[in-house]
Structure 1
Amino acid sequence: MRTTKFINKGLAAILLTVLSLNLTFGQEVVDKIVAKVDNHIILKSELEQAYAGFLSRGDASNFTGDARCMILEQMIETKLMLAMSELDSVDIEPGRVDYELDMRMQNMLAQFGSERVIQETYGKSVDQLKNELRPNIEEQLKIGAQEDNILSSVTVTPAEIRAFFNKIPKDSLPLFNTEFEIAIIIKKPVPNDAEVQKAKDQLMKIRERAMKGENFEILAIENSQGPTGPNGGNLGFAKRGQMDPAYEAGALALKPGEISMPVVSSFGIHLIQLVEKRGNEYNSRHIIIIPQPTQQDIQKSADVLDSLRTLILSDSISFAAAAKQYSDDEGTKVNGGFLSGPYGSNKMPADALEPTMFFKIDEMTVGEVSEAEIIDMPDGTKAAQIVFFKSKVKPHKANMTDDYEKLKAATLGMKKELKRSEYIKEKMKEVYVMVDPEFNRCGITNDN
């Protein structure tokens, strides 16, 4: 079997979508089986949907080969990985499948606004969609686990990275844009006691209405400030340990149908109604009110960061240590506050920076730690932030000093792809593969 020459994450996403569930509307294809791998089939409709998705991408015009052959080959490789995962008894925990399903449904709810709109769009309820998705999600997870089993042991040495670099013709070395090393510490304001009590009082009034017989889900639609509000506050089944600890404790203390007193979690303050307990899982719905910090609360968070900046400048604590200990930004604190660039490095290309950050460091000098300032967070709230401008790398040709992490990632990727191709070539001889004569031109064979 030819090894795939056009490995692209965008195409992989298209294939996974097709293998998951057809939630698109388009021209119907007269269906037939175009390939079979062990007991798994590939339909012509799946191939055509993936091909249409490929054509919709901006870089499709740069591909000069037979796109259908390339896509079919990748689909066959995916089915081969699935077949091998079954032969190797790869097992996926049901909770992992549940988690992936819940994430997809939450994304759909955020996109469409409510279950009603989803049902009107697709003619299926959320539960029906989840039931249809389940076996395919499990297949995707098995394929991913199988690839991880094959490739997780692949590593590269500094000598291999240098050998890879030395093979690149000097006149073909890639050019890299200006790059920055930037770290941040974000402090979110804490609402004062009066605002917290105001939210609790509001929830108590809502609870009284529910206790008098008003429908909890309707009250959630009218009052809840969370993304599940339009869905009646329903969170569906969750395993123990999956939700916020305070929320989970509040939910599990209830009997089915009971409504809690206000419960304070890291997300806000909740009224919780337990729907059902089932083994290690529970189903609940909630109404959440999120107390809003005052301007004074916001300023307090800035004052905290200014005090922390003074400690950093006096070398009483490093910026990285301060970020890990005090930052409220979960995405950067584990990395010492540094923004993560491509290939696992801390170097961010200039064109990848948000405009506000680009203009911020344009006013700073290398090595400087900014004073605290109030910023707008992605969710529309306010927070305080300080910035550490560690370094700046000017535009340059690739070299081992400035671009080691990029070269390491490229070398590792090449080595993994080689091992994957060798594995597929070997297993193609062990697994039954049939390709419809219509695609004989693709040269896909198991050499049997």
Structure 2
Amino acid sequence: MKFINKKTALLFGLALTFFGTAQAQQTPKKKIDGVVAVVGEYVVLDSDIDKTFVELQAQGIDIKNITRCEMFGKLLEDKLYAHQAVQDSIVVTDQEVHDFMNSQLDQMVEQVGSVEKVVKFYNKKNLEEFKTYFFDIVKMNKLTSQMQRKVVDEVEITPEEVRTFFKGIPKEELPVFGAEMEVAQIVIKPKISEAEKQRVINQLKEIKKDVTDNGASFYSKAVLFSDDKASVPTGGFYKITRKTPFVKEFKDVAFSLAEGEISEPFETTYGYHIIYLEKIRGQELDLRHILIIPKVSDEAMKEAKEKIEKIRQRIVSGEIKFADAARATSDDKDTRNSGGILVNPRTLETRFELTKMDPGLYSQVSDLKDNAVSLPFVDSDDKGVKCYKIMTVTNRYDEHTADYAKDYLKIKELALKEKQIKAIAKWTEEKIKETYIKINGEYRDCKFTNNWLKK
């Protein structure tokens, strides 16, 4: 999704592993399958446990220390989340499920070569049977995921709770944080010529004309021409509301269209778009779009390189400080105002732990001495457009035992995770009490962490 605003990754995200499920189907059953549990409106089959073991193996996860009872307990939790999602009116529409399946199917076809091969791989008679089989699986996984997010998103933590958490850690058990560094960058982007911008606008106008005048397929045009790789497999399709975290310019155009209308070409920070509004569903829009990113010329790249070389020379000679040069000249608005200081997308801190640093970034800064400036190098921005960068290391932190003042944000993250785990445990305990749950046969002898048997 190349034109979506940056968002912090959600905790406890779930993903359906299709190929693991497929292999599970091919595992021969040695006993008669049957219902081993009921949670609300959902059932757990004995074969579901076998399938989950094979799914984990397909993902490369070591299962030798996972007992059958533990796996059964995990399935009970998933069913409880899905059941409660329905009770809380969390809605996963059929369209969302179909869109997800179509996207996954497109990716699988790209890997194996044809829809027929995918269907055969899953031991299904045809595409309809394939989609019917996976529909309920995908829907339940999405309900489970959204319910989990709802539980943890409501958990907040105060500075006093962080302090209490830290004081409660025995001195000998304090975490040790690895060596870290802070780094800064200056980015110079090549200029796009007006002629190239007009070429892209004209191309989008021709695409629109072909669709409106000649009945060409917008879906096919998106597959052929769009630079938004995330939506290409679905023909440029997105479902959005006013709250969807897309850039403002995109939403403004989308919500100005009538049903069935195609917009004129318009610009965002990601390039030039046209939008086809398929359906208005109250406050929700079904739309397709095509994004075309203007191309950068060799001459523009040469000019960008010359510019950043001059900036580097001024810094190295002492004429200007790196931070001041970043504020004055960098084309990266996310780091310019902070003097070029990068933020770690994983922790939202300015520090990068060396053992967890992105390999590309590490290769540029690992050998830099204090106050040294890297040579210019070519990189790509978050939109995939090439640019030139120079970097420097602004601070280094040796491996050390956690310190409340120096490592507050890391300690806060640990404290929040602990509070989220406790919130989930409390939520689970309460929902088990009020939900119809029945466990059959030998699984009643399992020793569960949660009170599934309501003893």
TM-score calculated relative to the size of structure 2: 0.70
Indicate the residue corresponding to 1:54 in structure 2. Answer: 56
Q: Which amino acid aligns with 2:75?
A: M
- 1:327–1:333: 8 Å Cα contact kept in structure 2? no
- 1:189–1:293: 8 Å Cα contact kept in structure 2? yes
Q: Which amino acid aligns with 2:162?
A: T
- For the pair 1:215 / 2:220, whether they are aligned, the reply is no
- For the pair 1:291 / 2:294, whether they are aligned, the reply is yes
Indicate the residue corresponding to 1:3 in structure 2. Answer: none
Change (3 A) 1:120 1:423: same
- 2:227–2:292: 8 Å Cα contact kept in structure 1? yes
Indicate the residue corresponding to 1:121 in structure 2. Answer: 118
Greater mean alpha carbon deviation, residues 438-447 or residues 118-127: 118-127
Q: Secondary structure at the match of 2:16?
A: helix
Aligned runs of 1:199-238 on 2, under 5 Å? 199-210=200-211, 212-213=213-214, 215-217=216-218, 218-227=220-229, 233-238=235-240
CA distance in 2 between partners of 1:430 and 1:252 (Å): 42
Please list the CA deviations of residues 31-65 of structure 1 after superposition, one character each: whole Å capped at 9, or x if unmatched: 4222223443322233222222334455526x64x
Q: Which amino acid aligns with 2:22?
A: T
Please list the CA deviations of residues 201-260 of structure 1 after superposition, one character each: whole Å capped at 9, or x if unmatched: 333444454455252344444444443786584425433564554445555555555544
- 2:327–2:339: 8 Å Cα contact kept in structure 1? no
- 1:190–1:297: 8 Å Cα contact kept in structure 2? yes
Residue of structure 2 aligned with 1:359, choices 360, 363, 369: 363
Q: Secondary structure at the match of 2:22?
A: coil
CA distance in 1 between partners of 2:311 and 2:46 (Å): 61
- 2:196–2:295: 8 Å Cα contact kept in structure 1? yes
Counting aligned pairs with the same residue, the percent is 19
CA distance in 2 between partners of 1:134 and 1:338 (Å): 38
Aligned runs of 1:391-430 on 2, under 5 Å? 391-395=395-399, 405-425=409-429, 427-430=431-434
Q: Secondary structure at the match of 1:50?
A: helix
Residue of structure 2 aligned with 1:145, choices 123, 140, 150: 150
Q: Secondary structure at the match of 2:368?
A: coil
Q: Which amino acid aligns with 1:327?
A: D
Q: Secondary structure at the match of 1:297?
A: helix
CA distance in 1 between partners of 2:101 and 2:319 (Å): 45
Indicate the residue corresponding to 2:273 in structure 1. Answer: 270
- 1:239–1:281: 8 Å Cα contact kept in structure 2? yes
Q: For residue 77 of structure 1, report the CA deviation from its aligned partner.
A: 3.1
Q: For residue 92 of structure 1, report the CA deviation from its aligned partner.
A: 3.6
- 1:84–1:146: 8 Å Cα contact kept in structure 2? no
Q: Secondary structure at the match of 1:157?
A: helix
Q: Secondary structure at the match of 1:180?
A: strand
Q: For residue 432 of structure 1, report the CA deviation from its aligned partner.
A: 3.8
CA distance in 2 between partners of 1:232 and 1:425 (Å): 41
CA distance in 1 between partners of 2:56 and 2:20 (Å): 15
Q: Secondary structure at the match of 1:338?
A: coil
Indicate the residue corresponding to 1:386 in structure 2. Answer: 390
Q: Secondary structure at the match of 2:444?
A: helix
CA distance in 1 between partners of 2:221 and 2:61 (Å): 48
CA distance in 1 between partners of 2:400 and 2:230 (Å): 48
Size of the alignment, in residue pairs? 424
Please list the CA deviations of residues 127-160 of structure 1 after superposition, one character each: whole Å capped at 9, or x if unmatched: 97996544652343123313444x4458733243
Indicate the residue corresponding to 2:167 in structure 1. Answer: 162
CA distance in 2 between partners of 1:211 and 1:447 (Å): 63
CA distance in 1 between partners of 2:333 and 2:102 (Å): 27
Indicate the residue corresponding to 1:17 in structure 2. Answer: 16
Residue of structure 1 aligned with 2:282, choices 259, 266, 279: 279
- 1:224–1:287: 8 Å Cα contact kept in structure 2? yes
- 1:226–1:288: 8 Å Cα contact kept in structure 2? yes
Q: For residue 266 of structure 1, report the CA deviation from its aligned partner.
A: 3.2
Please list the CA deviations of residues 279-306 of structure 1 after superposition, one character each: whole Å capped at 9, or x if unmatched: 3344443444321122343455567767
Q: For residue 195 of structure 1, report the CA deviation from its aligned partner.
A: 0.8
CA distance in 2 between partners of 1:118 and 1:267 (Å): 32
Indicate the residue corresponding to 2:73 in structure 1. Answer: 73
Q: For residue 109 of structure 1, report the CA deviation from its aligned partner.
A: 4.3
Indicate the residue corresponding to 1:192 in structure 2. Answer: 193
Greater mean alpha carbon deviation, residues 285-294 or residues 414-423: 414-423
CA distance in 1 between partners of 2:328 and 2:89 (Å): 41
CA distance in 2 between partners of 1:104 and 1:187 (Å): 40
Indicate the residue corresponding to 1:9 in structure 2. Answer: none
Change (3 A) 1:395 1:25: same
Indicate the residue corresponding to 1:338 in structure 2. Answer: 342
Q: Secondary structure at the match of 1:374?
A: strand
- 2:85–2:144: 8 Å Cα contact kept in structure 1? no
CA distance in 1 between partners of 2:243 and 2:418 (Å): 39
TM-score calculated relative to the size of structure 1: 0.71
Aligned runs of 1:298-377 on 2, under 5 Å? 298-299=301-302, 314=320, 327-328=332-333, 337-340=341-344, 345-368=349-372, 370=374, 373-376=377-380
Q: For residue 72 of structure 1, report the CA deviation from its aligned partner.
A: 1.9
Unaligned runs of 5+ in 1: 1-11
Indicate the residue corresponding to 1:179 in structure 2. Answer: 180
- 2:16–2:141: 8 Å Cα contact kept in structure 1? no
Unaligned runs of 5+ in 2: 1-11, 120-126
Change (3 A) 1:401 1:369: farther
- 2:192–2:300: 8 Å Cα contact kept in structure 1? yes
Change (3 A) 1:140 1:203: closer
- 2:176–2:399: 8 Å Cα contact kept in structure 1? yes
